[in-house]
Chain A
Amino acid sequence: MPEIEMTVNGKPMSGTVEGRTLLSDFLRDMLGLTGTHIGCDTAQCGACTVHLDGRQVKSCNVFAMDAAGAEVTTIEGMANADGSLGAIQAAFQTHHGLQCGFCTPGMVMAAAGLLKENPAPTEAEIRAHLEGNICRCTGYHNIVKAIQAAAAELGAKPIAAE
């Protein structure tokens, strides 16, 4: 079986995979990065969202071999260097943008994807961007609030993590 390498959260990683190994499987099962969650099998819930070469993707809908050589960022790579919560993570806590926590990693990664492209999104733009991330707990209200707050916070300084 082929061996692949990729940079995950800034660190070189490698592992042996099959053709059918998904990026999400590689992250969870081989690298132990279980913050990337699997909530569906039709690539709709977005709980598995990560960044692949700077693009927001659903890691359950990418083959690990297609991501060979790429730079991957997962929720485990989103904290500040000192281990404290990054601005988006902190805003989710402050604004109660999570309850059971299961969709949360995907939401944070999607939020980061949005703010990188659009540092000052409107409420409608936030909601449109989250179309591929399902949350069953929060009704999205506080997720929207959290992303608005994170945008305001990050607007004051350059985007750090990512």
Chain B
Amino acid sequence: MYAFDFVKPSTLDEALSALAEDEAQAISGGQTLIPTLKQRLAMPSKLVSLTGIAELKGVKTEGNTLTIAGATTHAVVAKEAAEAYPALASLAGRIGDPSVRALGTIGGSLANNDPSACYPAAALASGATIVTNTREIPADDYFQGLFTTALDEGEIVTGVKFPIPEKAHYQKFIQPASRFPLTAVFVAKYSSGVRVAVTGASEDGVFRWSEGEEALGANFSPDAVSGLSVDPDGMMADMHGTAEYRAHLVKVLTARAVAAANG
């Protein structure tokens, strides 16, 4: 790692003013950032820890909306969202491993937008709203490709609002080394329609499988997607899976997610 200063403010305002400095970078749980720093792939002058800010932590349900503060860890979501949004809690409880879940946060995951991360699938499939220190961004506008989001420099994710679906399920098929999704599908059924978000598969990061959504909107059963096929064009290809394989998984995992959501 290159050298940098490390500060751990206790309020959001302090954090934002620290982040205003050149080359300052926010760090939440650090579970992805620290390995990146070890490889000397990033060179911040200052890291601003968000883990000491009480107002950035917590899970609450109001009406049909579950709100998770930005620096809430996966472990906390797994526990505290279990009643309100079990599919989301289940996703949080399967990210990485217990040590990662103890520190990694939803805000960190969404800000990083790793093309194989779990949370972006949930946020996109739920039509969540990403809340930042300056504005609210609908998930459909927030994810903008590989490691790219609508966030501006110095803007941080302070919370995420999830509309709670009627039914939902997250099907994750892991890459056996990293334990990230090789491909994973989050299916959420709302009265307004079905949303299907796919992570781990596309070269452009998380995306909605609109053809699948339409079919499932008409008939929320695994059979609804059996006649569809997913175009491998634009899918990631590496030693763990070809583009064709990932495209195939999208369909298989979607059907399985629907089956599981239907119980």
List A residues at the B interface (Cβ < 8 Å).
18-20, 22, 41-44, 46, 49, 52, 55-58, 60-63, 65-66, 68, 110, 113-114, 129, 131-133
Contact = CB atoms under 8 A, between A and B. Distances in A.
A21 B98 CA distance: 23
**Highest count of chain A CB atoms <10 Å: which of B1, B2, B97:** B97
A29 to B, nearest CB: 14
Query: Is chain A's interface secondary structure helix, strand, loop, or mixed overall?
Result: mixed
Nearest to A64: B6
Interface string B38-74: 1100000011010100000000000000000000000
Interface in B93-114: 96-100, 102-103
B8 A43 contact: no
Interface residues of B, number: 29
Given A19-B5, A57-B103, A133-B97, 4 more contacts: A41-B38, A57-B99, A57-B102, A132-B97
Give me the 8 closest cross-chain CB pairs, A-B, nearest first: A132-B97, A19-B6, A55-B102, A20-B1, A131-B97, A65-B6, A58-B99, A42-B35
B32 to A, nearest CB: 9
B93 to A, nearest CB: 10
Q: Which of A49, A114, A132, A133 gathers most chain B CB within 10 Å?
A: A132
Contact of B97 (A46, A60, A65): A46
B35 A61 contact: yes
18 contacts: A19-B6, A20-B3, A22-B34, A41-B39, A49-B99, A55-B75, A56-B98, A56-B102, A57-B102, A58-B100, A61-B31, A63-B49, A65-B49, A68-B8, A132-B96, A132-B98, A132-B100, A132-B179
B103 A61 contact: yes
A63 B37 CA distance: 11
Contact of B179 (A56, A129, A131): A131
Interface of B: 1-6, 8, 27, 30-31, 34-35, 37-39, 46-47, 49, 51, 75, 96-100, 102-103, 178-179
Contact of A66 (B1, B46, B49, B96): B49
